[in-house]
Amino acid sequence: MDPAALRSWVLFEDEQLLVLDKPGWLVVHPSKNGPWSSLAGAVREEFKLDAIRFIYRLDRETSGVIILAKTAAAGSRLQKAMGRRLIGKVYVAILDGHLSQVTVVDRPLGPDPSVNVTVKQRVVDGEGSQVAQTVFTPLTAGGDCTLVGVELLTGRKHQIRAHAEAIGHRVIGDKLYGPDPSLYLEFATQGWTARHAALLALTRQALHCAAIDLRPAGMEHIFRAFWPRELAAFGERRMGLTATAAQTLVDTFVAQKLRG
């Protein structure tokens, strides 16, 4: 990773916070491949922070706003606010197929024992499951895809992706919740293969954290990340949706959800 690239991802920085627009190819937590192979490692190297305090995590292939607290006090304050669901997060995704109406998914999630991937979740009742609620709002459809705004009413592992799979509208490009979960392990060991190209329409999952609202946590900040270029290019190619039109739809959805 180029230090200049890392600096270009900075959305905001002061004595308490460092806010970044994470690309959709970068793992967040430290990697065995050295400090510049993860966001945590790169931030520690470049910004010389005494501790890395992510307020929440994003999956490796999810792009968008991510926040680090520079001080223990700010970290504790925001972590408590996250636990109380006071911090508003708005996601945008491209789903497979046409989702015709606002869809509220209120279905518990737990580990999926049917596949050889321990992190995979699925809709399941009983021991080990957790209440999970997601709202998918279609913004526009084109080709065989739908651009949707997403609200998380709970915060579970892989919640958006697992709920999208459960309603039959998987996140485009998802290697774990897509057409074959073994693509996930195959990618980890071999990288992008011909089988990935045949089964997946995009090299990364089309999921983006578009905005974070810290005002309910007592900080006068809303942070936004632009719709990524690779997702905009996919929208133009596959959906006939220009980058400008997609950004306008994203901005409008964010404004509706974070008004006030």
- Total number of domains in the chain: 2
User: Chain-centre distance of CA 39, in angstroms?
Assistant: 15
Question: 144 catalytic, yes or no?
Answer: no
- 2, 21, 50, 59: the catalytic one is 59
Co-location of 171 and 202 in the same domain: yes
Co-location of 68 and 153 in the same domain: no
Co-location of 176 and 224 in the same domain: yes
CA–CA dist 149, 137 (Å, integer): 5
Co-location of 130 and 235 in the same domain: yes
**Which tokens go with 138?**
């279609």
Co-location of 99 and 77 in the same domain: no
pLDDT recorded at residue 83: 85
Residue burial 204-226, b: 16+ Cβ < 10 Å; e: rest:
bbbbbbbbbbbeebebebbbbbb
Do 92 and 147 contact (CB within 8 A), yes or no?
A: yes
The string of pLDDT tens digits covering residues 87-105 is 889 999 999 999 999 999 9
Co-location of 80 and 93 in the same domain: no
**Pairing state between β 133-142 and 63-69:** unpaired
Give the residue ranges of DSSP H helices in the chain: 3-8, 39-47, 72-83, 159-166, 182-190, 194-199, 229-234, 243-257
Tell me which of 50, 84, 118 is where a domain ends.
84
The string of pLDDT tens digits covering residues 228-259 is 999 999 999 999 999 999 999 999 999 999 97
Co-location of 217 and 95 in the same domain: yes
Co-location of 64 and 101 in the same domain: no
Q: What is the CATH number of the domain that holds 207?
A: 3.30.2350.10
Tell me which of 84, 109, 144 is where a domain ends.
84
Co-location of 52 and 163 in the same domain: no
**Which tokens go with 173?**
């490009």
pTM (2 d.p.): 0.94
Range of the domain at 213: 88-260
Co-location of 78 and 95 in the same domain: no
Tell me which of 84, 119, 149 is where a domain ends.
84
Co-location of 222 and 203 in the same domain: yes
Co-location of 168 and 209 in the same domain: yes
pLDDT, tens digit only, all 260 positions of the chain: 788 899 999 999 999 999 999 999 999 987 777 778 889 989 998 998 888 899 998 999 999 999 999 999 999 999 999 888 888 899 999 999 999 999 999 999 999 988 888 899 999 988 789 999 999 999 999 999 999 999 999 989 999 999 999 999 999 999 999 999 999 999 999 999 999 999 999 999 999 999 999 998 888 899 999 999 999 999 999 999 999 999 999 999 999 999 75
